[in-house]
Amino acid sequence: MTRTLSAEIARFPLSTPFRISRGVKTVAEVVEVEVAQDGAVGRGEGMPYARYGESLDGALAEIAAVRDAIAAGAGRDDVLTLMRPGAARNAVDCALWDLEATLSGKSVSALIGDPPVGAVATAMTVGLDTPEAMGAAAAAYADYPLVKIKVDRNDPLAQIRAVRAAAPRPRIIVDPNESWTIAEVRDLQSALIDLRIDLLEQPLPSEDDGALAGFTSAIPIAADESAHVAGDIDALADRYQVVNIKLDKTGGLTAALTLADAAVARGLGLMTGCMVSSSLSIAPAMIVAARSGFVDLDGPLWLANDRPGGVRAERGMMRPPSPGFWGGLSA
């Protein structure tokens, strides 16, 4: 067996700026990994996130550190101990899954014993802006199944009301990106019910979410920044009702599946999320999405140009990529 690993940075300009409470993104910068063996190539992608102390150069260094081990035949289980959870491990893990699917002639879904991946309803994100601008953006999604609203502490009710008025039908996720306090979570409960909000995502900073312990929310609350790997679940089970699984946090599909099993075992619901990234990040996440009650995989839809053959979305329904794109998945 001759195996090689390579990694490079890829940049994808966004069609419009993506605004959340922490800042504005105009380009998605990702790390792409390829693992080649016996004429087959597996690909994976990770999006290093500064919120978690990651950088592009740091991710490339982490990947370079395991190049010899991968060349010597290290597999996905080995990578779990050789690399820390994060974007770099995600790219390597997903490349190994893709390679295994290609060499075996089976899809990744078949390899893990799941049904073929089909279309899923994905949230369409309304970025943080003035209430008027957010309402105008939401009007385009008025008959879509699911909308996600990015808010902050600057009159979030006005932002949410503007979106709900423009889109009265969809389920709605509200995401403050850690910008609220526990007092605001309490005070906004009745308004969130009146506005028919289905999920509140990570309202408090992760270091402050102990304030949620024992709090009974009328709206299910999802852990995002607080939940990375399966080992986090025990500490979160009395604070949250849903876990947002992102492969860039777990460090790949392998760990994401373990996290999903751990969350379900503790009675928590599942959400699948993503960073703003290309379809190479989204294809493996669709496997977890098939198990989830909430799906937020519209990252590639923010790009001016996605990778050819990637996932496709129509009126809020996301379909798997074209045959041969990743992992043997196809529409």
> What residues are annotated to the active site?
150, 246
Q: What is the DSSP letter of 217?
A: -
> Which residues, in sequence order, are bridge partners of residue 295?
272
Q: Is the dihedral of CA 194, 199, 203, 207 positive or negative?
A: positive
Rounded to an integer, what distance in angstroms lies between the CA atom of residue 80 and that of residue 281? 18
Strands 242-245 and 221-223: parallel
Rounded to an integer, what distance in angstroms lies between the CA atom of residue 271 and that of residue 268? 10
> Which residues, in sequence order, are bridge partners of residue 148?
125, 173
List all residues 6 or more positions away from 299 whose beta carbon is below 8 Å from its beta carbon. 28, 274, 275, 276, 277, 278, 281, 282
Residue carrying structure tokens 């605001």: 184
At 233, list the tokens. 């679940």
Task: Give the E-state strand segments of the chain in sequence order.
Answer: 3-20, 23-37, 40-46, 120-121, 124-126, 146-150, 171-175, 199-201, 221-223, 242-245, 269-272, 294-295, 312-314, 317-319
Rounded to an integer, what distance in angstroms lies between the CA atom of residue 193 and that of residue 134? 20
